[in-house]
């Protein structure tokens, strides 16, 4: 925390001291945090791009100089490049509660959403006429689902996750739902929604982008049918690192990929004109894997050695609780409002604070909402979160490397930034 006279206020001292105690007692503390390249910045954007694990640069240098530079094409076999999508899928599997052989890595999340939705529709009963899509979804899922529905002649019905159990009918092929809402951080009821979908004969397709690596998912235990997720957030795989696709074991034989590339063929080097899918999760592959990104991800996943996802969840809830306490203590009343559920059972690993305009017309000033200005100032002062339209300040907490001291400092700086703004009444309805 920066040394300002206000820091000596008893309240501030109390929270800073508490942060010290919580960090000292944290089982994920310094050892796991040390596995990452970090600096003095308070980095609360790991729910967008995870920090760099220390092991990655050397591993990538070796892949480039030795595996590619020296072994060249031999590396497809000798360095295990060809089997990397399944091998790395098995490394992600325990983090989402999947047994080996159920996760394959490759392509972007958007592409895996396409495979999962069309593959799911192809497995659904003949009389199905619609798919349900989380009405609050990250936009790409909605775009892809609508296109998939157009291609398969089904309708798309947007439904709030909490309403899916009531809205699903025997005509529903599947529902595509975000496990954690990217904007509010709300955790949706994966077990309950999945069970309700199954009771109506529909499949459950989950987007795990904002939950995998932040909390236990339990895809096998909760009988999820298909799931997708990215690896550049809480899995720290790096910018644009490949996504993964999960297919429930009992469905794999019926999974008919809409993108049946040669990498998913039973005999990829047979070069036959006819397509015959490989057995198992391999049929989720498409074309040549993006080896550099894939192997960076593999090295990044080593940070999970000896780490339990349950400990991660415990710390995530403690961090977000503590951050909210600090915000309540440091931020002038009425300046922000948490849109992230208080209830632990409904909270992901982020805190989203609605920060509405405080000056008439300010939302229009240069077209920049006040929350965007506040976040820009936070970043300038070394606290990195992000802004989501129209008024959300998003703070992601990555338990592997976020400390309680980080949470306290972020709230303190937020208080400083908001106190510096002139106090004028909120503009009713503006910026919503």
Q: Which are the catalytic amino acids?
A: 138, 207, 232-233, 394
Does 243 sit near ligand PLP (CB under 6 A)?
A: yes
How far apart are CB 103 and ligand PLP at their closest, in Å? Answer: 16
Choose which of 182, 255, 322, 330 interacts with ligand PLP (CB under 6 A): 182
Helix (H) or strand (E) holding 310: helix 309-330
Report the candidate in 394, 411, 359 with the shortest Cα–Cα distance to residue 7. Answer: 411
Radius of gyration (Cα) for the chain, nearest Å? 23
Give the Cα separation of 70 and 92 in Å (integer).
29
Structure tokens given for 391: 């008024």
How far apart are CB 241 and ligand PLP at their closest, in Å? Answer: 9
Does 12 sit near ligand PLP (CB under 6 A)?
A: no
Q: Of the two residues 43 and 182, which places its CB atom closer to ligand PLP in the complex?
A: 182
Residues 14-43 that bind ligand PLP (CB under 6 A): none
Choose which of 41, 79, 140, 314 interacts with ligand PLP (CB under 6 A): 140
Q: Quick check: 204 and 194 in contact, CB under 8 A?
A: yes
Q: Of the two residues 138 and 255, which places its CB atom closer to ligand PLP in the complex?
A: 138
Residues 93-132 that bind ligand PLP (CB under 6 A): 108-110
Q: Quick check: 211 and 217 in contact, CB under 8 A?
A: yes
Q: Of the two residues 207 and 391, which places its CB atom closer to ligand PLP in the complex?
A: 207
Does 314 sit near ligand PLP (CB under 6 A)?
A: no
How far apart are CB 252 and ligand PLP at their closest, in Å? Answer: 23
| Residue 130 φ/ψ, nearest 5 degrees | -150, 165
The burial of 274, by beta-carbon neighbours within 10 Å (0-12 exposed, 13-18 middle, 19 or more buried), is given as: exposed
Does 290 sit near ligand PLP (CB under 6 A)?
A: no
Choose which of 145, 230, 235, 281 interacts with ligand PLP (CB under 6 A): 230
In DSSP notation, 104-116 reads EE-S-HHHHHHHH
Give the Cα separation of 317 and 350 in Å (integer).
9
The residues of the shown chain that bind ligand PLP, judged by CB under 6 A, are 108-110, 138, 140-141, 178, 182, 207, 209-210, 230, 243
């Amino acid at each position: 925390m920066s040394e300002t006279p206000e820091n000596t206020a008893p309240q501030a001292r109390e929270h800073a001291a508490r942060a010290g105690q919580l960090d000292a007692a944290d089982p994920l503390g310094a050892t796991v945090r040390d596995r990452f390249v970090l600096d003095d910045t308070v980095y609360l954007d790991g729910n967008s791009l995870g920090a760099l694990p220390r092991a990655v640069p050397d591993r990538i240098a070796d892949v480039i100089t030795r595996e590619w530079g020296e072994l060249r094409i031999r590396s497809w076999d000798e360095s295990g490049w060809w089997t990397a999508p399944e091998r790395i899928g098995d490394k992600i599997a325990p983090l989402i509660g999947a047994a080996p052989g159920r996760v394959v890595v490759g392509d972007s999340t958007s592409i895996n959403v396409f495979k999962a939705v069309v593959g799911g529709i192809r497995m659904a009963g003949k009389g199905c006429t619609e798919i349900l899509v989380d009405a609050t979804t990250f936009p790409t899922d909605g775009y892809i689902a609508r296109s998939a529905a157009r291609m398969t002649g089904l309708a798309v019905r947007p439904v709030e996750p909490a309403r899916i159990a009531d809205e699903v009918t025997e005509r529903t092929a599947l529902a595509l739902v975000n496990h954690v809402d990217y904007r509010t951080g709300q955790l949706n009821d994966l077990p309950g929604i999945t069970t309700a979908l199954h009771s109506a004969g529909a499949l459950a397709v989950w987007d795990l982008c904002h939950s995998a690596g932040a909390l236990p998912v339990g895809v096998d235990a909760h009988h999820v049918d298909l799931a997708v997720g990215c690896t550049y957030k809480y899995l720290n795989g790096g910018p644009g690192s490949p996504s993964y696709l999960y297919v429930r074991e009992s469905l794999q034989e019926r999974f008919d990929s809409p993108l049946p590339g040669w990498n998913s063929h039973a005999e990829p080097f047979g070069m036959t004109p006819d397509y015959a899918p490989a057995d198992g999760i391999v049929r989720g592959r498409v074309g040549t894997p993006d080896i550099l990104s894939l192997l960076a991800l593999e090295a990044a996943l080593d940070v999970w050695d000896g780490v339990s996802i349950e400990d991660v969840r415990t710390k995530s809830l403690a961090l977000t609780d503590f951050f909210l306490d600090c915000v309540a203590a440091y931020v002038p009343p009425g300046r922000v409002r948490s849109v992230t559920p208080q209830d632990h059972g409904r909270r992901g690993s982020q805190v989203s604070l609605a920060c509405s305009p405080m000056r008439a017309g300010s939302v229009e000033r240069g077209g920049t909402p006040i929350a965007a200005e506040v976040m820009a100032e936070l970043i300038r002062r070394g606290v990195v979160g992000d802004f989501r339209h129209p008024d959300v300040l998003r703070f992601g907490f990555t338990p592997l490397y976020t400390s309680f001291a980080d949470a306290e400092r972020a709230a303190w700086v937020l208080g400083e930034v908001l106190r510096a703004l002139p106090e004028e009444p909120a503009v009713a309805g503006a910026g919503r």
